[in-house]
Structure 1
Amino acid sequence: MKTINDLLILEGMKEGIVLAGHRGLTRNVQSVNISDTPDVIKFLDKNHLLLTTGYAFKDDPEKFCELIQQMHDLNCSGLVIKINRFFNVLPSEVKLLADDLAFPIIDLPTKHTLGELSRHILNYLNDHEAEQLYYALHVQKEFSNMLIKGYSLNALLEQLGHSLSRPALLLNHRGEKIAQSHDFQKESMKKIEQEIIQKVKEDLPTARQGTVFSIPSKEHQSVSTFPVQTKRQYPSMLVISDSLSLPYPSSQMAIEQAGNVISFTIIKEQAIEENSRLLKNNFFADLIEMKIHSDEEIFSRSNYYGLQKDMENVCVVCTIDEQGETYETLQLYEKKVGELHNSVYDQLEDELIDGNLEATLFTKGKYFVMILQFPSYSEIEVEAITKFAANVQANFNGDFSLSFGVSHSVPTLKELSTAYDEAVEAILTGYDQNMKGFIKYYKTRDLKELLNTLPRKDLKALYENALKSLAYPKTKEEQELVKTIQVYLDSQCEFSETARKLFVHRNTVKYRIEKTEELLNCSLRDPADSLRIRVALIIGTILKEDENI
């Protein structure tokens, strides 16, 4: 961008006299405005140069000072005035204020018109911008050729740094270094690189959008970030040192054009990464479906994807909760579903890194599967997993919620199929209980839970076949017999213990058991008969609960 100083070579301007604000001649000029109205400030903007005769303020120096202050606050470039038209001399209070603010006021000779000067300045500015545009297109073409030829990101950054004569750094969406120009390989730049990365990580959302900041080592030198869009939810960042004073004809437009090509290069590398991810997911599918039989092959392929032997392995499964019409509508648009899944994948990957967890991330169908490995598995590791899952849920930016299922730990890689089944079952159990956005650990089902999964007609047939007439006790005596069976079996078939719990005589218990065995045609001391009757009594509680519901 041109400055007031640069304009002093133009016809009219080179004959002008700087009346005040000499220190402000380095102010940038982007456009020109001609006006003699009192409310001209409403039509000005940053880096605007005002051309005027000063007629609106010829009898009011105070209003003139107010305009100078307003233009300075707006960061306008300066003011060119025909001083001899209505003033003869610049009011002293105006001069003092302009000098104090370093706001340039230039006297235009009477023989030149404001319109003529405006035309000269605009032509000059437009030629300057056109040259910057042509240079930006040149940069874009040069970088596109490098992309086609397969140059690496480091090579692109090196070329950009050379073109701009500025150090260049490329960071991913987490603020981690991807590539750099050779400047950052110097020992003197190591500290500066660390300070830049630290500053970016302090406010990632702002840095991703593009911002300007300074670092302790270079307080008087600006550092700028430019967003580089990729297939991820959040953009990567191109970081340029001292980008606000680029050597001509370089411009931020040139940086943006180079950034576009860098964006395409990253997207190409992400496509290669997605292909590798597909191979990794195929391996996981083969592993849990028991299609790999050789221990040696399991260990070698697992090690390739970061899974180690002799570790406690925990499977954590994550899925997006289906939420009525919103999710069903989304399923109609394959691209949107893909973007949503990529967003969740990136979030899980980020949180695993932030949590310093040893884990490998896979996908299988609608599930995101993480195999976490620990030297030992205790409550400390359980808390770490819970914290990780809770952070993912809290930081996930979307209209959907995420749920997690966590398995027991298994000591070998061959048992990962069991761990995966447990984690999925934990997820499904949560959904059976109408839960959303949950973290559920797998719990081994007891006999009652397993029986609850069977069809009710089968349970009823087994119940009636085992207890016969006692299945639906009608008399008080039948009810006492059923209660006695229950307590007798719970007391390990001990008459004395059963009598004590029922508050009856030992012989009474003995009589009731003998009568029950006669009715059911079985021996309660026989293991098979005992098990059958125990199961039947549990089924009875299930059927009773169903009746109550």
Structure 2
Amino acid sequence: MKPARGGTSMHLTVEDALSVYPLSEGKLVAGAAGKNRIVKSVNVMDAPDIWDWIKDGEMLFTTGYLIKDDPQGGAGLLEQLNRRGSSGLGIKLGRFWEQIPPALILMADKLGFPLIQLPYEFTFSDQMNGLYRAEMQRSTKALQAAMEKQKRLMRFALQSDPILQLFEEISGVVGYPLAVVSAEGRALFNNSGVPEESLLRAWPWTGRHPWVKGEGWQCYRVPLLSGAKPAGYACFVTGEPLFTTLEEGLFHQAAELIAYQMEARIQSADNRSRQYEDQIRACLAGALPPAELAAYGESSGNSVLKGAYIPVLTSPGGTSDAAGRSARMERIRQEYGSHPVLSALGALHLDMEEGVLSLFPDGAGADELAEHLASCSGNLRKSAGCVARAAIGGRRSGEQSLASAWMELKETLRLAAEWGVPDPVVPYRKLELAYLFEHCPKERMAAFCDRVLGGLLRKEPEYRQEMLRTLEVYLDNDGQLSETAKKLYIHRNTASYRMDKISELLEVDLKKTDDLLRLKLAFQLRGMSAKAEEPAAALRTAGRK
């Protein structure tokens, strides 16, 4: 026979239930480790197959009739109830048992399953009604508190406080610690005390179940919906076993408010950013004085040009059709925006006719920045077939130096294209000497190169090529012998031997700055001279045809 259902849905712990009169007249005789189990409902055990009907969180009351002649079978019953998620068993003594059998007490302690001696003076219905009234009072108070919280949330929706302050206040209203996670997997706010790496475990999150459990904590996770995709997540953290349905509804309401406020701020920031980008374009075109750009940046909260920054211009490459070029530039911005290091720098990216101009706050050195940009270039080539090239300018500060930085970037890309530089990332300092001597007559360049490198240029072709390559790599690595050997895939002793021979053939001292500068300049001019010869050679070949 299916047991009759007794009562309504509850949300009390066993310990809470034992404080409610008249159940408070009973006592917990075993299984104290389970006193924090949740009591969701109460039922009377009057059927031998009770475990077929038991529900999770259900507490059972019995006189012991079904197990009065079989205490060992009663211990087995406790195991069955525990497996089905029952919250406890209350036994009323005096009719069939004078005391609870030791076998049941031992099993209850072993399982941490609450075993309660019910008060003899009160009927089951008295005790169940007492729990029902206590739950009604608790639910009424919770409803009143939730309504008050909803009123306060609505007041927050009309405010324009800074976003982090808003998160703090929402956490205070709902009464639970809060963590807000962005769509990129960064904790924007976290007052839960749970470490960010634990909170973001298994990111990106794909599961649909809102509950997430950790060591000593759990959270109810609500997506911050903005369009088709979540704009992030609100995580309400607790050490309690679970929340009530009423609280879960409040969390969803708070998440909607957070999503609305975040979207409003993002749109506002996007509008300010677009206006600031237009001001920068006007400044670079000479239509806006740098002082006015600085004033606008100050008033709109855009401070990227206020401190030190490193300018970068990324050419999208490929064909010149407008649609394809725009798509490649969008892909470049996405790649930079999703890179874990570059995105954290908070750079400003804006489209220019020449490519994507990026202004990176000076949070990383130029060499480290070049490595990350090269990584992005490789990803773009693999995923989108975009042959992008980035020019890195020198460190700048303030709006007054923006125009010179822009000219420097454009010249770097031009010289890299004219010289056939194969590198995807080209620092301006690598081509600075070439820019300085660009208009030097080729006869003078050739004479200087012959004077400085003549000792090698007159050697046999194979030997000459090997030694010139070694010297070039040595100069590119600022005279670091170990780095030179690594780049050439040779032993350090081999590199040292070659440099000694080069020093002897060219009659230079590689420890002297003047000699190193002359060699560096010779390589730059030699490259320029070779590029200058290419058009003439092509014309001579065409004439012979």
Q: Please give the range of the TM-score, normalised by the shorter of the 2 chains.
A: 0.5 to 0.7
Counterpart Cα distance in 2 of 1:271 and 1:39: 61
Residue of structure 2 equivalent to 1:351: 339
Structure 1 pair 148/234, CA: closer, same or farther in 2 (3 Å)?
closer
* Kept in 2: contact 1:313–1:416 (CA 8 A): no
* Kept in 1: contact 2:380–2:386 (CA 8 A): no
Deviation at 1:355, TM superposition (A): 6.9
Per-residue CA deviations over 1:196-225 (Å, capped at 9, x if unaligned) read 2343355544699653435xxxxxx64746
Matching of residue 229 in structure 1 with residue 224 in structure 2: yes
* Kept in 1: contact 2:392–2:425 (CA 8 A): no
- Where do 1:87-486 residues align within 5 Å? 87=97, 89-108=99-118, 114=124, 117-160=127-170, 162-163=172-173, 170=180, 172-173=182-183, 178-179=188-189, 196-201=195-200, 203-205=202-204, 211-214=212-215, 222=217, 224=219, 226-227=221-222, 229=224, 231=226, 233-238=230-235, 240=237, 242=239, 254-280=250-276, 282=278, 291-292=285-286, 296=290, 306=304, 311=310, 313-315=312-314, 348-353=336-341, 359-362=347-350, 369=356, 371=358, 383-388=371-376, 402=384, 404-409=386-391, 411=393, 413-415=405-407
Structure 1 pair 386/353, CA: closer, same or farther in 2 (3 Å)?
same
Residue of structure 1 equivalent to 2:60: 50
Structure 1 pair 109/166, CA: closer, same or farther in 2 (3 Å)?
closer
Per-residue CA deviations over 1:43-91 (Å, capped at 9, x if unaligned) read 4444321234555544443443233234335553211234555555433
Deviation at 1:409, TM superposition (A): 1.7
**What CA RMSD, in Å, does the superposition of the two structures yield over aligned residues?**
5.5
What amino acid is the match of 2:224? Q
* Structure 1: runs of 5+ lacking an equivalent: 185-191, 215-220, 320-340, 395-400, 426-439, 444-526, 539-549
Residue of structure 2 equivalent to 1:447: none
Matching of residue 29 in structure 1 with residue 28 in structure 2: no
* Kept in 1: contact 2:59–2:86 (CA 8 A): yes
Deviation at 1:280, TM superposition (A): 4.6
* Kept in 2: contact 1:212–1:225 (CA 8 A): no
* Kept in 2: contact 1:38–1:56 (CA 8 A): yes
| Residue aligned with 2:81, SS | helix
* Kept in 2: contact 1:243–1:252 (CA 8 A): no
Using the size of structure 1 for normalisation, the TM-score is 0.53
Counterpart Cα distance in 1 of 2:331 and 2:93: 63
Deviation at 1:101, TM superposition (A): 3.3
* Structure 2: runs of 5+ lacking an equivalent: 1-10, 319-328, 394-403, 418-422, 427-533
What amino acid is the match of 1:414? W
| Residue aligned with 2:304, SS | coil
Residue of structure 2 equivalent to 1:475: none
Identity %: 17
Structure 1 pair 255/355, CA: closer, same or farther in 2 (3 Å)?
closer
What amino acid is the match of 1:361? H
* Kept in 2: contact 1:35–1:51 (CA 8 A): yes
What amino acid is the match of 1:61? P
Per-residue CA deviations over 1:367-398 (Å, capped at 9, x if unaligned) read 9946276999999766432424567999xxxx
Residue of structure 1 equivalent to 2:79: 69
| Residue aligned with 2:348, SS | strand
| Residue aligned with 1:137, SS | helix
| Residue aligned with 2:339, SS | helix
Deviation at 1:145, TM superposition (A): 0.9
Deviation at 1:153, TM superposition (A): 3.4
Deviation at 1:243, TM superposition (A): 5.9
Structure 1 pair 260/134, CA: closer, same or farther in 2 (3 Å)?
farther
Greater Rg over alpha carbons, structure? 1
Deviation at 1:266, TM superposition (A): 2.0
| Residue aligned with 2:113, SS | coil
Structure 1 pair 210/418, CA: closer, same or farther in 2 (3 Å)?
farther
What amino acid is the match of 2:304? G
